[in-house]
A and B are shown apart, each in its own frame.
Chain A
């Protein structure tokens, strides 16, 4: 089967890859680009563990083909920290212990960061609805929601 050549940007870096037309963006990230932050939970768009942004839009990378990435800008959890300096959301998730097994965490960080870029002062209800597509089976959601709300408050104060 003929492979498709794709040129795209991932976390600001120009990358090229060859993919089978059936491969999802998640397959490409994990298997071709060695970016294993995005996880496969369900593979059907229900759990959000594979969340990435494409041109600033939050999507499930399992519901997008690698071939569709041509000319796009993809952002994954690997691009959230600045070198060794963690993003405020990451710091706060550690502080609140807003994770246990960690499978859902990359997706939740990507989704929460995308929300705070759009809405620096979200209500708790907004955060809960925004993250409704990110399932967590360990911590429950309370610590996650509180971590996001507190990060938003800190970031507003800092800006």
Chain B
């Protein structure tokens, strides 16, 4: 295994593009090093991105959007009051991953590129309409988070592609987001179901919404029907029931030791309702 520490994304991409064997990028390493140790993946070239300028920065741009560096850790996000204020759902989703120790290393981009359908931060990023910039042999492009995963452990990224930054939209007024997951324990587990809701209000009425589900299909889902069920409503009981039904209908989960198909489908509906209520309260300016 060769260990590289490039000082630019162009160099990192060139190393990956020119590599003949297995290549992995290293930021937090909380997936890569586990796979290395378990002999699941032994990279021929390991490209550490942490020496590249700006990868550790959380930047609020002049239009109030955010740019988060690819090596920013979960702990750094949770310790950033303004980011927590704007996007509590995204931060709480990232914060649910692993232990304090894992939070000291794990990154949003690692969680995304690992391609797990149960990745906690991904539904929250999808609901928040977050995108990433990618540089590769074909040049630079922007990819929406919802378009990244193509199946368990797979993404649209091709040989030589590397994610260069995470772009979070400006929060704007009267809006809120939330993420909830179900696990059988209270900490240190992988989502059996995850659900993120992001919405905007005009008075009491929802004018915009995005609903995303995790761990109930081969990839994280953006569920338009679930969003449609609450747009134009005040999140009354009828809207919540419709939201729950739409979330359930979108599920195509696996049956495994952590949850049956029936259980996951039902929990998806329950979490959608609860996450929507939290996002709604946050959009009203309440601390939840």
Asked whether A35 is an interface residue with its Cβ less than 8 Å from the other chain, the reply is: no
Interface-side segment among A58-66, A77-85, A88-96, A146-154: A58-66
Q: Residue-by-residue, is B85-107 near A (CB-CB < 8 Å gives 1, otherwise 0)?
A: 00000000000001111101100
Stretch from B30-38, B122-130, B199-207, B258-266 forming part of the interface with A = B30-38
Chain B interface residue bracket vs A: 20 to 34
Instruction: Give Cα distance in the complex from A106 to B113, angstroms.
Output: 33
- Name the residue of chain B whose CB is nearest to the CB of A46: B188
Chain A nearest CB from B84 CB (Å) reads: 16
B3 lies within 8 A of A21 (CB): yes
Residue of B1, B38, B105, B186 most packed against chain A (CB within 10 A):
B105
Q: Which residues of A contact B188 (CB under 8 A)?
A: 46, 132-133
**Cβ-defined contact, B50 with A133, below 8 A:** no
Q: Are B102 and A68 in contact, with the CB atoms below 8 A?
A: no
A130 vs B29: C-alpha distance when bound (angstroms):
21
> Is B46's CB under 8 angstroms from A21's CB?
yes
A-contact 0/1 string along B213-227, CB 8 Å cutoff: 000000000000000
A133 touches B98 (CB 8 A): yes
CA distance A60 to B34 in the complex (A): 11
Q: B187: which A residues are within 8 A, CB to CB?
A: 129, 132-133
Known A-B contacts A46-B188, A63-B34, A129-B187; the reply to A58 vs B29 at CB < 8 A is: no
Q: Within the complex, which residue of A21, A60, A65, A129 is in contact with B102, where a contact is CB–CB below 8 Å?
A: A60
Please tell me if the beta carbons of B3 and A67 are within 8 angstroms of each other in the complex. yes
State the CA gap A58–B99 with chains docked (Å).
10
Considering the chains assembled together, what is the distance between the CA atoms of A65 and B36 in angstroms? 11
Which residues of B1-56 have CB atoms within 8 Å of chain A's CB atoms?
A: 1-3, 26, 28-30, 33-34, 36-38, 42, 46, 48, 50
The residues of B that contact A133 with a CB separation of less than 8 Å are 98-102, 187-188
Expressed in whole angstroms, the Cα–Cα distance for A54 and B3 within the complex equals 20
Does B99 lie within 8 Å of A65, measured CB to CB? no
Q: How far is the CB of A122 from chain B (nearest CB, A)?
A: 12
Docked complex Cα distance between A134 and B75 (Å): 17
Tell me whether A44 and B34 are in contact in the complex, defined as CB-CB below 8 angstroms, given that A63-B29, A111-B100, A130-B100 are known contacts.
yes
**Smallest Cβ distance from B61 to chain A, in angstroms?**
26
Asked whether any CB of chain B lies closer than 8 Å to the CB of A45, the reply is yes
Question: Does A22 sit at the interface, judged by CB under 8 A?
Answer: yes
CA distance A58 to B73 in the complex (A): 12
CA A43 to CA B26, docked complex, whole Å: 17
CB <8 Å contact, A57 and B29: no
Q: Which of B42, B50, B105 contacts A59 (CB 8 A)?
A: B105
Q: How far is the CA of A67 from the CA of B5 in the complex (A)?
A: 10
A21-B46, A45-B30, A132-B187 are contacts. A59–B1 as well, Cβ < 8 Å?
no
Q: Are B101 and A111 in contact (CB under 8 A)?
A: yes
A sample of 5 more A-B contacts (CB under 8 A), given A22-B36, A60-B99, is A45-B101, A59-B104, A60-B101, A63-B30, A133-B102
7 nearest CB pairs, A to B: A133-B99, A21-B3, A132-B187, A59-B104, A57-B104, A60-B101, A44-B34
19 contacts between A and B (CB under 8 A): A1-B1, A45-B98, A45-B102, A48-B99, A48-B101, A58-B100, A59-B104, A59-B105, A60-B99, A62-B33, A63-B30, A63-B33, A63-B101, A63-B102, A65-B33, A68-B50, A111-B100, A133-B98, A133-B101
